[in-house]
Chain A
């Protein structure tokens, strides 16, 4: 793979990765958010595939396929299942499937994402300067997605949006790891993926239980447990 082709493919993958992350803030429909997350998983897998082809490492490509399968296939599937679980109250069903009242509205959220991107670019300058190649230049993208994921955690009310926010952070961390190193050992990647899978399973159970107990998944309703 030639230098320019590599840079372009990598930029494309990173662009898709970033776009999917930011669009999560834009959509209110939880099903659409899950789809966007799956798209981001594909972009992440593509990014690692490009890196693997560049380094000529079959091992890295195999890892990429695994990462993609987990983040674009298994995790979105689990979230869809949580979303499609039959609800006790038929009336609120339409409400439940949407992020109706985020703590920060959509327009402001997108502006905030822009500011976070600026911060990410400013902060990662020293890392880029260490070794200025296309992969390292993409680190700010990963950092932006991390901050956006955190922002989703802080401002979105539905339990499923929280899960997506958490997974955006994890995607961003994985992307940073692959971009700054020449491949993470398989064992480490396996361990991290297993952790994420477990967290999502736990959150899925939690979501179902919350719905059964309160008839909704608005986390702000849970205020009893404090000092």
Chain B
């Protein structure tokens, strides 16, 4: 066993030991034990993934661990990348969870499930056979479901969210199971090597791709299969939200990349994706574009902080999928360098998103911990009360809004570069799709800025809008530590993406053999050079220049503005003193956007005027209620759910309580089947 294998084994062992110990120790030290164990396992996992990205591969076959099939594990650079990301998120979430669990989450089940959840997410990218992958996948679904339901006794919404999540994740599992089982049947074997050398008919390949794409996309929260995400992520405990939103959704991306770019192209005999149909990748691109737009629009008008972050996850996964789709498309069009560049952009965005989404969810959890509410409309004024959380959220918001010097900017810049340079190489379909994709990326970046300005400005600055925000106090040091680690990752990724780009290039190399897309002196200096197209960027220099410019501007203002600030009363139209409720709220900040996208969002408003008894002209009370429902959910899932319910109600007539009737069902089925068997020659 070499280094990555040993590290992965250590990580999994630590997870298991922590889970068992968490069941045994008293509640007082349970959160600390679980948090430290999870963080240590995450560190080992991150190291294993890093070693795999550095080029050391490892594989193992444990025939006795699962009946019939055994467990096959392989660490390659692609899987290593996702393991490293999961490990990194687990370190932050583990440290953060120590303090967060004082919030009444020190129960045995929750604390023992957390390390198991991390273990399952470390196993999924390491699986090298269909059965191993599915078992790890199901373990991930079940453990995350248990964690989502952790606070079900406190809020009734948790139960509903858990139900949505349970149903959708298992429908996704069925799709993946169906697709991969069909693939394995066609390949006469279930190990990934056998799948790579399988020969499938084009129709079978399309079916496998579509089924697995649907399953993996639902895990990644891609529109229109995202309905569970903005429900489950807000209702889970915040460190679990961070794990789900920053690590678990990535598994969907991993699955699509593994099946679409690694396993299926091999089954055609063509090299490096050349054998896959272009429409697959246009479909991926379209799904990604729709998710990016729809996700960020919903995030922009949401006034629930964690729901906003959940929709932002949909947006970012959409961007990643756009990169993935573009990569696959370029590969089919014989432009391997562009394909590799798009894939690097997608994978880098996975890493960046994991870093800033961990930070943001943890900061949101810190706010929730301190104020007991997620509603941005009653927050505000946290800057003075929670200075560290505010600063850390600001770092995350900067990263998420894809502006320099945030880390989100780097990957979106790379993605844009690959899309912009596509036009000559990609034929008619590309000439139509790629400019549209560029527009979608640019627009989602713009809306992301508005969204996070809203989240930060309304949530943390100005004066408190409600009593909850006024009473807020800073979170304990372990929570700040978890957030600080994530912020550190964001900062490192923002100024030095060149640190991880070689590893990413190796991960890309496992899927698309060819020259490294981001090359040259990149590894030694701070500048990213793109090979094949003219493009260089130095995030560090941009950051330094920005910092210098800001310092210069601030200095100049201070130097030249001699007048001192003078406090004066604000003019209030003579209507009495202004209250903090008159500040901009999240809803009012988003109102112009909501107006612009009225046709897409279809907001619902409800005005309820109650007149006085004596006269209809004297108003006693006006109730105004506005909400922006998830339109896709309402139009697509609403009728489906109604139909299922009607069917279920009608099916009730089948079961009238008579034992004889139930027995008769069995009897008729049995005899009918026997007669059928006798009739069929």
- A residues near B (Cβ < 8 Å) are 103, 116, 119-120, 122-123, 125, 147, 150-151, 153-155, 157, 219-220, 222-227
**Which A residues are in CB contact (< 8 Å) with B670?**
147, 150
**Which B residues are in CB contact (< 8 Å) with A103?**
660
User: When the two chains form their complex, are residues B663 and A154 in contact, meaning their CB atoms are under 8 A apart?
Assistant: yes
**Considering the chains assembled together, what is the distance between the CA atoms of A225 and B677 in angstroms?**
35
User: When the two chains form their complex, are residues B657 and A119 in contact, meaning their CB atoms are under 8 A apart?
Assistant: no
User: When the two chains form their complex, are residues A226 and B678 in contact, meaning their CB atoms are under 8 A apart?
Assistant: no
User: When the two chains form their complex, are residues A119 and B671 in contact, meaning their CB atoms are under 8 A apart?
Assistant: yes
**Considering the chains assembled together, what is the distance between the CA atoms of A122 and B674 in angstroms?**
9
User: When the two chains form their complex, are residues A219 and B659 in contact, meaning their CB atoms are under 8 A apart?
Assistant: yes
Nearest A residue to B674 by beta-carbon distance? A123
**Which B residues are in CB contact (< 8 Å) with A227?**
652, 655
Can you sample 8 A-B contacts with CB below 8 Å?
A147-B671, A150-B666, A155-B660, A219-B660, A223-B656, A223-B657, A226-B656, A227-B655
User: When the two chains form their complex, are residues A151 and B667 in contact, meaning their CB atoms are under 8 A apart?
Assistant: yes
User: When the two chains form their complex, are residues A223 and B660 in contact, meaning their CB atoms are under 8 A apart?
Assistant: no
Residue in A123, A154, A225 whose beta carbon sits within 8 Å of that of B660 in the complex = A154
Q: How far, in Å, is A2 (CB) from chain B's closest CB?
A: 34
Interface centre among B652, B666, B674, B675 (most CB of A within 10 A): B674
User: When the two chains form their complex, are residues B678 and A122 in contact, meaning their CB atoms are under 8 A apart?
Assistant: yes
Contact status of A226 and B655, CB under 8 A, knowing A123-B678, A154-B667? yes
Nearest B residue to A165 by beta-carbon distance? B663
**Which B residues are in CB contact (< 8 Å) with A154?**
660, 663-664, 667
**Considering the chains assembled together, what is the distance between the CA atoms of A72 and B671 in angstroms?**
28
**Considering the chains assembled together, what is the distance between the CA atoms of A150 and B663 in angstroms?**
8
User: When the two chains form their complex, are residues A223 and B658 in contact, meaning their CB atoms are under 8 A apart?
Assistant: yes
User: When the two chains form their complex, are residues A222 and B659 in contact, meaning their CB atoms are under 8 A apart?
Assistant: yes
**Which B residues are in CB contact (< 8 Å) with A147?**
670-671
**Considering the chains assembled together, what is the distance between the CA atoms of A103 and B658 in angstroms?**
12
Interface bits B418-434 vs A (CB < 8 Å: 1, else 0): 00000000000000000
Q: How far, in Å, is A123 (CB) from chain B's closest CB?
A: 5
Q: How far, in Å, is A154 (CB) from chain B's closest CB?
A: 5
User: When the two chains form their complex, are residues B671 and A220 in contact, meaning their CB atoms are under 8 A apart?
Assistant: no
The residues in B between 627 and 681 inclusive whose CB is less than 8 angstroms from any CB of A are 652, 655-660, 663-664, 666-667, 670-671, 674-675, 677-678
**Considering the chains assembled together, what is the distance between the CA atoms of A116 and B671 in angstroms?**
8
User: When the two chains form their complex, are residues A153 and B667 in contact, meaning their CB atoms are under 8 A apart?
Assistant: yes
**Considering the chains assembled together, what is the distance between the CA atoms of A52 and B436 in angstroms?**
82
- Known contacts A119-B675, A220-B660; 9 additional CB pairs below 8 A are A119-B671, A150-B670, A154-B660, A154-B664, A219-B660, A222-B657, A225-B657, A226-B656, A227-B655
**Which A residues are in CB contact (< 8 Å) with B659?**
219-220, 222
User: When the two chains form their complex, are residues B658 and A123 in contact, meaning their CB atoms are under 8 A apart?
Assistant: no
Binding site secondary structure of chain A:
helix
Nearest B residue to A126 by beta-carbon distance? B677
**Which A residues are in CB contact (< 8 Å) with B671?**
116, 119, 147
**Considering the chains assembled together, what is the distance between the CA atoms of A219 and B657 in angstroms?**
10
Contact residues on B (Cβ < 8 Å of other chain), bracket: 10 to 19
**Considering the chains assembled together, what is the distance between the CA atoms of A155 and B663 in angstroms?**
9
**Considering the chains assembled together, what is the distance between the CA atoms of A206 and B655 in angstroms?**
22
Nearest first, the 7 closest Cβ-Cβ pairs linking A and B are A226-B657, A223-B657, A122-B678, A154-B664, A154-B663, A123-B674, A154-B667
**Considering the chains assembled together, what is the distance between the CA atoms of A204 and B670 in angstroms?**
27
**Which A residues are in CB contact (< 8 Å) with B664?**
154
Nearest A residue to B651 by beta-carbon distance? A227
**Considering the chains assembled together, what is the distance between the CA atoms of A225 and B656 in angstroms?**
9
**Considering the chains assembled together, what is the distance between the CA atoms of A150 and B660 in angstroms?**
11
Nearest B residue to A151 by beta-carbon distance? B667
Nearest A residue to B677 by beta-carbon distance? A123
**Which B residues are in CB contact (< 8 Å) with A116?**
671
**Which A residues are in CB contact (< 8 Å) with B677?**
123
**Considering the chains assembled together, what is the distance between the CA atoms of A150 and B669 in angstroms?**
12
Nearest B residue to A225 by beta-carbon distance? B657
**Considering the chains assembled together, what is the distance between the CA atoms of A44 and B677 in angstroms?**
28
Nearest B residue to A226 by beta-carbon distance? B657
**Considering the chains assembled together, what is the distance between the CA atoms of A147 and B666 in angstroms?**
11
User: When the two chains form their complex, are residues B674 and A224 in contact, meaning their CB atoms are under 8 A apart?
Assistant: no
Q: How far, in Å, is A222 (CB) from chain B's closest CB?
A: 7
**Which B residues are in CB contact (< 8 Å) with A224?**
657
Interface centre among A153, A222, A224 (most CB of B within 10 A): A153
Q: How far, in Å, is B678 (CB) from chain A's closest CB?
A: 4
**Which B residues are in CB contact (< 8 Å) with A122?**
675, 678
**Considering the chains assembled together, what is the distance between the CA atoms of A227 and B651 in angstroms?**
10
**Considering the chains assembled together, what is the distance between the CA atoms of A103 and B677 in angstroms?**
28
Q: How far, in Å, is B677 (CB) from chain A's closest CB?
A: 6
User: When the two chains form their complex, are residues A220 and B658 in contact, meaning their CB atoms are under 8 A apart?
Assistant: yes
**Which A residues are in CB contact (< 8 Å) with B652?**
227
**Considering the chains assembled together, what is the distance between the CA atoms of A222 and B675 in angstroms?**
32
**Considering the chains assembled together, what is the distance between the CA atoms of A125 and B678 in angstroms?**
9
**Which A residues are in CB contact (< 8 Å) with B667?**
150-151, 153-154
**Which B residues are in CB contact (< 8 Å) with A223?**
656-658
Nearest B residue to A157 by beta-carbon distance? B660
**Considering the chains assembled together, what is the distance between the CA atoms of A151 and B659 in angstroms?**
13
**Which A residues are in CB contact (< 8 Å) with B660?**
103, 154-155, 157, 219-220
User: When the two chains form their complex, are residues B663 and A153 in contact, meaning their CB atoms are under 8 A apart?
Assistant: yes
Q: How far, in Å, is A217 (CB) from chain B's closest CB?
A: 12
The residues in B between 20 and 54 inclusive whose CB is less than 8 angstroms from any CB of A are none
Nearest A residue to B659 by beta-carbon distance? A219
**Considering the chains assembled together, what is the distance between the CA atoms of A147 and B660 in angstroms?**
15
**Considering the chains assembled together, what is the distance between the CA atoms of A208 and B663 in angstroms?**
22
**Which B residues are in CB contact (< 8 Å) with A151?**
667
**Which B residues are in CB contact (< 8 Å) with A222?**
657, 659
Interface bits B395-430 vs A (CB < 8 Å: 1, else 0): 000000000000000000000000000000000000
**Which A residues are in CB contact (< 8 Å) with B678?**
119, 122-123, 125
Q: How far, in Å, is A167 (CB) from chain B's closest CB?
A: 15
Q: How far, in Å, is A170 (CB) from chain B's closest CB?
A: 15
Q: How far, in Å, is B434 (CB) from chain A's closest CB?
A: 55
**Which A residues are in CB contact (< 8 Å) with B663?**
150, 153-154
Q: How far, in Å, is B125 (CB) from chain A's closest CB?
A: 43
